[in-house]
Amino acid sequence: MSKQTLSALAISAVALLSAAPTMAQDKTLTISWWGFNGDKMEAIILTPFREQCGCELIFETGNAGERLNKLQVRNGQGVDVIYLSDSFSQTGIEAGLFQKIDPAKLPNLAGIYELAQDPQGGYGPAYTIGRVGIVYDSASVETPITSWDDLWREDMAASLSLPNITTTAGPMTVIKAGDHAGVDAYENADAAFAALEELKPNVVKNYNTGSEMINLFSTGEIKAAIAQDFTLGQIQSAMPTAEWAELEEGAIATLNTVNIPTGAANVDLAHEFINFILSPEIQQELAEQGVDAPVATAVELEPEQAALWTYGADTIAGLQRIDYVKMNAAKPGWIERWNELFGM
């Protein structure tokens, strides 16, 4: 065998070795998410998607803040798809960590609610829509709660739990306090926090997790709480007389988004995954199995299923939206004032 032939074979071998990791990498999708409902997510999403893509799935789990911080330390690399609530995804957008999606690669985008299609200016869609509102015990609250202002009622003294300021719903409490005071909390934080001080006698405890809030209901320590609607079913399991308040001003929309980081190694596969989870079939099963509220407009739920979710065009149209650019800018100052007020 000639030296030229040996050289050619060596070059070919090196090329093959160099290509091998790329080929393997092209069949691997790294997903950053919370890790909740693991068994259901495996059955409904992961197993069928593996069969569709013929790929390997790798996961990074943890709370939103931790995962976003890891992504920022890695300059947007190491993850192909990241699940975040919209407040955190807005932070990621402002930090330049996400790339805009290609709608042409997401045919299922056209079949979801308009609010979910493009919630943050060309970045990832929402795969589920939730609400922040008020849950109360109808057996112990004689006059139904129908307004955010009802939290300040005298009959609610020592009866209420608020989400802590560092939770998803915490800063929204400051906004609602501003509304109660007749001001924009971003423009007049003094008045908003004065209203929170007026509310303080009604507050038993601020909670940090949904399970902590549910326990306060089950032990009878509270009669009402500002809460996200995904906790309603668990609250009602602990307290069957709990109800979601129909607020005249409307509940606040919360969107869980799915984005593609700037350093994603598998952008096409990431688009394929996002399109997959937005399909009506997957959305239907996620809703029926109690995992996520559907954003696909073709999903049809029975009344008892629908009652647990932010579901239907009329419900979604009545939701209030949050300006997360303003909120994220105001939050550090609000956290400091909140901790001073509530002794954190």
> Average of pLDDT values for 316-330?
94
pLDDT for residue 26: 62
Cα separation, 146 vs 248, whole angstroms: 6
Helix axes 189-199 and 170-181, enclosed angle (nearest 10): 100
- Nearest one of 317, 292, 295, 314 to 305, comparing CA atoms: 292
The domains located in the chain, with CATH, are 27-129+254-317 (3.40.190.10), 131-253+322-342 (3.40.190.10)
Percent of the chain at pLDDT > 70 equals: 92
- Backbone angles phi and psi of 31, in degrees to 5: -115, 130
Q: Is 208 helix (H, G, I), strand (E, B) or coil?
A: coil
**pLDDT exceeds 70 at position 187:** yes
Angle at 87 between CA 83 and CA 91, to 5 degrees: 85
pLDDT for residue 307: 85
> Average of pLDDT values for 250-256?
96
> Average of pLDDT values for 291-308?
93
> Average of pLDDT values for 73-84?
97
Query: How confident is the model over 202-249, as pLDDT tens digits?
Result: 999 999 888 899 999 999 999 999 999 988 988 999 999 999 999 999
pLDDT for residue 343: 84
pLDDT for residue 11: 36
Which parts of the chain fold into alpha helices (H)?
3-25, 38-41, 47-53, 64-73, 86-94, 114-117, 170-181, 189-199, 210-218, 232-238, 267-277, 280-288, 303-306, 313-317, 324-342
8-state DSSP, 42: I
pLDDT for residue 6: 35
Position 14 confidence tier, pLDDT thresholds 50, 70, 90: very low
pLDDT for residue 344: 59
- Nearest one of 118, 340, 146, 325 to 243, comparing CA atoms: 146
**pLDDT exceeds 60 at position 25:** no
Q: Is 148 helix (H, G, I), strand (E, B) or coil?
A: helix
pLDDT for residue 35: 86
> Average of pLDDT values for 280-305?
95
| Residue 34, burial from CB neighbour count under 10 angstroms (0-12, 13-18, 19+) | middle
Torsion-angle region of 343 (φ positive above 0: left; ψ -120 to 50: alpha; else: beta): left
Query: How confident is the model over 113-162, as pLDDT tens digits?
Result: 999 999 999 999 999 999 999 999 999 999 999 999 999 999 999 999 99
Say which residue, 135 or 16, is predicted with more confidence.
135
Average of per-residue pLDDT values in the chain: 91
